[in-house]
Structure formats: structure tokens, C-alpha cells
């Protein structure tokens, strides 16, 4: 299936915090989706596949508002933040198999101005991220939210491999540096040093405030079709060379894994590289789902950019910054651009591969890698080329 | 065990099915996990069948209650109001001698004194007349 499907359109709303988007979650998704459809040179009536983000969008509602009157493929990959990148693979399979011609992958939310997890869980414990296992076996002990879950892994990594806070800080600083080259980034114009990072308060030790992604309002979307159909469309297609997704085991419980660093990406990455016919050394830049800093480090290891345990030294010395050996999250990521449910990682990869990334363009970018991370460590990866 | 506290204000598990059994045993002062009758594998959280061998036959087997600290986080900003007064506290993963791991807390130890590998044993913190939470205290190695 290599190179048989491609991304032909991207759309994004503005990203903001105060005073909030002033739009509904649905309207944000629609605005981003309409932008992606228009950018692709398509009409809404030609979109016959929609893959909404889990628990955020409904295909029926999106289609009815947009005017997608020929919808025939609607599916959601239930992998939390790993869903959009996992959807790229599913959308590619759908268009290649003829189940749909043009698939829309939209997302958007009021992550800043809408209800926060810490509010919803206190009024309804059943709404806790992680579901009934989290409610019955974590919440009574005060573990309520993702930064706490993942910091359990981060501490264990520090113990086994000597990973240091300064190395997590190098990730936060790199993302912030990239955001200075991205006018859409919420943290544009607000640089940050390693000293700033180290001085930020602990929230879920070893996670400090600046280890955690932004909470923002906004939406983004992409459109996928076949390479053949892409020839008639206005933009240079970005080809999906290979994609894969995977789950840790067990996926519904985070403490009882024999190997706690074996996440979904551990399974998915070798499959994606095999499908794409490339290796990590062929990748010009990487868009790594950065809900928290350590997840970037861990995913760099599990993708195979470095060996497990070597992620700490790997991220130091500017290697993951623009101009470095492997620029990571050239838009600033969830940490410094915005949290658009991981779709922003895809739209930025498309810009890089089209050569439209302006001041943050990676020179001669030919192949990029995008990951998603969700729930208790579900993983997805797509390898894209121009 | 301390007296039942009727004003226990923190969230409690939903008592249903195997989860009710697990916490009811804790209320009796017994830490029990599912153990497969066929292959002997212990498991937590409760499952319907043995993921190791596929057997549906199992029993609530009593744990020694002894284990060690596997990892932890220190919550300094509570993300649930019921824990606001408790910060800083450390949700801690305990690895029991039987091999299963359990998210809990070490009650006689400040977060900055925790160490990976620290030996601990179970104690029960009474929440309601029926339910107690399994927590841990330090033991000398």
C-alpha cells in the first residue's frame, strides 16, 4: 500500500487560550474541516468518508453541517491521542480499497475554555480518563489524570537509565524554541530557557509545570485520498509511505505490564518502517506526540531513533532542534503550539513536506515521521514523504 | 484497623462484581488476588479468565501482603478536590511477592523518603464499614 494514498488538504482554526474560541466544539471542527476540504480543492459533497476523533466528533453531525451528502464510510479509532495518526492508516486503506474516495479526519475542542478533567471527574467519577479501572483502582489512591500515570513511567526510566530532569527540560525548551518560528503557536513570542523550566513548579513529580502540554481551544483537519485522485488536486500530495498502530499489554491498566516501556509504538514502529521500506536514519524530521516531555523521549526510543535508555542523552545538545540531526515538533508541538488532539502534528508534517514551513522549514525535507500517543500508551505512527 | 469513618470524603471504588469482592476482602483485613487454578498465575486487576493459559477456573488467593516499591509519582497539585488537603502525596506502585502490582500508597513514609525497591507490607485503611483500602508501610529488609 506504500505511496498509494496521500494527504491532499489541511485546515486549522486559530489556536488560543484566553478568552477562549467563542465557538462550540462542533463549530471548531467544522471550521477546520471546511478549510481542509477547500484547501484540497474539493467540495463537501465529494467527502464520502469521515473519521471523527473519539468522544469528540460524530460523523453524522459533521456530515450534516458540512453538506457531505454522499457519506459511506464513517469510523473512529479508539486510541485517544493516537487516533488521528492511526486514522491516517485506516483512511489510506479505505481509499485504496475503494470504500471511500476522500476521507476527512477532523478534530477540535475547547481544551482551554471548556470543562477540564479535574472538574468533570469530581462531579462524575465515571468520566475519569482510563474508565472503570482508573475509577476503581487508581482514583481511591489519588491518581486521577494522565500526568500522574505517565510520571510513574518517567520515574522508572530515571531509575533504570539515569534519565535526568534537565533532559526532559531539553525537550520542553526545544519545543518552545520552535514555537518562536511559528506565528500560530500560542507560545509564539514567549521564549523559555532551561532555567525557566527547572524553576517551574512540580505538578506530578518528576513532571513540572513545563513538562505538560498546553490546554488550548482550536481545531484541525486533514483530507486523504488516493495518489491517482491527488493528481487532479491543487497541492503537491504528501504520500503515506507506511502507517501502523498498536497497544501496550494490557492496554487498560498501566501498572501490571511486564515491561513497562513496551507501549503501542513499540509494536507499531517496526511495522511502519517495514511498510515504508525505510529506516530511522532516512527520516528528516519527526512530529512526536508530546502530551508530556517524557513521552517524547520514550517514543524516540521506541521508534528506534536511539536505543532504549539512551533517549536522555539523545535529546540534549540541540539534536532535536531545528538545524539539529533530527528536528522534532517543528511547530512547537502540544507543549508550545497548541493541543489540537494530535492533528497539528500531521498538518505541520504536510507543511514541511510541501516546503511551506517558512522560518522553520527543514532544508530538503523529503521524509517525515508522525506519531500519536493516547490513553495508557496506545501508539500510532505514519511515515510520510513529499 | 481504625474505626469506620462515616465522613470518609475521598472517592471510593464502585462495588460491583469482582471489584466488590476485592475490596470486601480488604475490609476483612485480607489482601487477595485472583490466582489461576490451572497454571497458578496471579493477576490484578480482576479478569474473567486467565490471560496466561485461558482457564476460567480461579480463586481469590491470599497474598503475603509483602512487596516492594516499584515506582511512584508525587502529586503536588491535586487534580481532584478530595485530595487537595493531602498534597504532597505519592501514588505508588507496589510489586507484591506474588508478582502482581498494585497502585497504592506507603502511609508511614513522606514522598521524599521513598526508594525503588523499598520493602513494604500491607496495612488496611478503613473507609466504610464494608470497605478498606490496601495501603503499605515500610518493613526492615
Render B72-88 in DSSP notation, one character per residue.
E-EESS-SSGGGGGG-S
Is residue B118 domain-resident? yes
Cα A297 to its chain centre, rounded Å, is 14
pLDDT in tens, B7-55: 799 999 999 999 999 999 999 999 999 999 999 999 999 999 999 999 9
Count: domains in chain B: 1
Question: Given this model, what pLDDT does residue B5 score?
Answer: 53
Is residue B50 domain-resident? yes
Is residue B1 domain-resident? no
CB atoms within 10 A of CB A330: 29
Look at residue B107 and tell me whether its pLDDT is greater than 60. yes
Q: Does A151 touch chain B (CB under 8 A)?
A: yes
Share of chain B above pLDDT 70, in %: 95
Is residue B123 domain-resident? yes
Q: Would you kindly state where each structural domain of chain A is located, as residue ranges?
A: 5-113+214-385
Is residue B87 domain-resident? yes
Look at residue B1 and tell me whether its pLDDT is greater than 50. no
Would the CB atoms of B45 and A137 count as touching at under 8 Å? Answer: yes
Residue of B nearest to A153 (CA): B71
Is residue B3 domain-resident? no
Is residue B7 domain-resident? no
State the residue for C-alpha cell 517551574. Answer: A200
Would the CB atoms of A152 and B72 count as touching at under 8 Å? Answer: yes
What does the pLDDT profile of chain A (386 residues) look like in tens digits? 999 999 999 999 999 999 999 999 999 999 999 999 999 999 999 999 999 999 999 999 999 999 999 999 999 999 999 999 999 999 999 999 999 999 999 999 999 999 887 778 877 888 888 999 999 999 999 999 999 999 999 999 999 999 999 999 999 999 999 999 999 999 999 999 999 999 999 999 999 999 999 999 999 999 999 999 999 999 999 999 999 999 999 999 999 999 999 999 999 999 999 999 999 999 999 999 999 999 999 999 999 999 999 999 999 999 999 999 999 999 999 999 999 999 999 999 999 999 999 999 999 999 999 999 999 999 999 999 99
HSE-up of residue A346 (Cα within 13 Å, Cβ side): 38
Which residue range forms the structural domain that includes residue B101?
Answer: 17-138
Residues on chain A touching B82 (C-beta within 8 angstroms): 122
Fold (CATH) for A5-113+214-385:
Peroxisomal Thiolase; Chain A, domain 1 (3.40.47)
Which of A125, A159, A250 is nearest residue B11 as measured by Cβ atoms? A125
For residues A141 and B91, the answer to whether their CB atoms sit within 8 Å is yes
Would the CB atoms of A142 and B86 count as touching at under 8 Å? Answer: yes
Render A150-169 in DSSP notation, one character per residue.
HHHHHHHHHHHH---HHHHH
Mutate to test the interface with A, among B63, B73, B96 (most CBs of A within 10 A): B73
Amino acid at each position: 500500500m506504500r505511496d498509494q494514498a496521500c494527504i491532499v488538504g489541511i485546515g486549522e482554526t486559530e489556536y488560543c487560550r484566553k478568552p477562549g474560541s467563542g465557538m462550540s466544539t462542533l463549530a471548531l471542527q467544522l471550521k477546520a474541516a471546511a478549510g481542509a476540504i477547500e484547501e484540497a480543492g474539493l467540495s463537501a459533497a465529494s467527502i464520502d468518508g469521515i473519521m471523527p476523533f473519539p468522544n469528540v466528533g460524530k460523523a453524522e453531525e459533521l456530515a450534516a453541517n458540512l453538506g457531505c451528502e454522499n457519506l459511506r464510510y464513517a469510523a473512529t479509532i479508539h486510541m485517544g491521542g493516537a487516533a488521528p495518526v492511526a486514522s491516517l492508516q485506516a483512511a489510506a486503506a479505505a481509499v485504496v480499497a475503494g470504500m471511500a474516495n476522500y476521507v476527512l479526519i477532523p478534530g477540535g475542542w475547547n481544551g482551554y475554555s471548556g470543562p477540564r478533567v479535574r472538574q468533570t471527574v469530581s462531579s462524575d467519577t465515571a468520566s475519569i480518563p482510563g474508565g472503570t479501572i482508573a475509577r476503581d483502582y487508581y482514583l481511591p489512591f489519588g491518581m486521577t489524570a494522565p500526568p500522574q500515570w505517565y510520571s510513574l513511567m518517567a520515574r522508572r526510566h530515571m531509575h533504570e537509565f539515569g534519565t535526568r530532569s534537565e533532559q526532559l527540560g531539553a525537550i520542553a525548551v526545544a519545543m518552545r524554541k520552535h514555537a518562536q518560528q511559528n506565528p500560530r503557536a500560542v507560545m509564539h513570542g514567549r521564549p523559555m530557557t532551561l532555567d525557566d523550566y527547572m524553576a517551574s513548579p512540580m505538578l506530578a513529580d518528576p513532571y513540572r509545570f513545563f513538562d505538560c502540554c498546553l490546554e488550548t481551544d482550536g481545531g484541525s483537519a486533514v483530507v486523504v485520498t488516493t495518489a491517482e485522485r491527488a493528481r487532479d488536486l491543487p497541492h503537491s500530495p504528501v504520500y503515506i509511505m507506511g502507517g501502523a498502530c498498536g497497544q501496550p499489554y494490557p492496554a487498560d491498566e498501566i501498572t501490571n505490564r511486564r515491561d513497562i516501556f513496551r507501549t503501542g509504538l513499540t509494536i507499531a514502529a517496526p511495522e511502519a518502517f517495514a511498510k515504508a521500506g525505510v529506516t530511522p536514519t532516512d527520516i528528516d524530521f519527526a512530529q512526536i506526540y508530546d502530551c508530556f516531555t517524557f513521552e517524547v523521549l520514550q517514543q524516540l526510543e521506541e521508534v528506534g531513533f536511539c536505543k532504549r535508555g539512551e533517549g536522555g542523552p539523545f535529546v540534549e545538545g540541540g539534536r532535536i532542534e531545528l538545524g539539529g540531526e533530527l528536528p522534532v515538533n517543528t511547530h512547537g508541538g502540544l507543549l508550545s503550539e497548541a493541543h489540537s488532539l494530535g492533528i497539528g502534528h500531521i498538518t505541520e508534517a504536510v507543511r514541511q513536506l510541501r516546503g511551506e514551513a517558512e522560518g522553520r522549514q527543514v532544508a530538503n525535507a523529503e521524509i517525515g515521521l508522525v506519531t500519536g500517543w493516547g490513553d495508557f500508551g496506545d501508539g500510532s505512527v505514519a511515515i510520510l514523504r513529499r | 484497623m481504625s474505626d469506620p469513618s462515616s465522613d470518609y470524603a475521598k472517592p471510593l471504588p464502585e462495588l460491583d462484581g469482582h471489584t466488590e469482592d476485592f475490596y470486601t476482602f480488604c475490609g476483612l483485613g485480607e489482601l487477595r488476588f485472583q490466582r489461576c487454578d490451572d497454571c497458578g498465575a496471579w493477576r490484578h486487576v480482576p479478569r474473567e479468565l486467565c490471560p496466561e493459559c485461558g482457564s476460567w477456573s480461579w480463586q481469590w488467593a491470599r497474598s503475603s501482603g509483602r512487596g516492594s516499591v516499584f515506582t511512584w509519582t508525587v502529586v503536588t497539585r491535586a487534580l481532584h478536590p478530595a485530595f487537595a488537603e493531602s498534597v504532597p502525596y505519592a501514588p505508588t506502585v507496589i510489586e507484591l511477592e506474588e508478582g502482581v502490582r498494585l497502585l497504592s500508597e506507603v502511609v508511614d513514609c513522606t514522598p521524599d523518603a521513598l526508594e525503588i525497591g523499598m520493602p513494604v507490607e500491607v496495612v488496611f485503611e478503613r473507609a466504610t464499614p464494608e470497605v478498606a483500602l490496601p495501603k503499605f508501610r515500610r518493613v526492615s529488609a
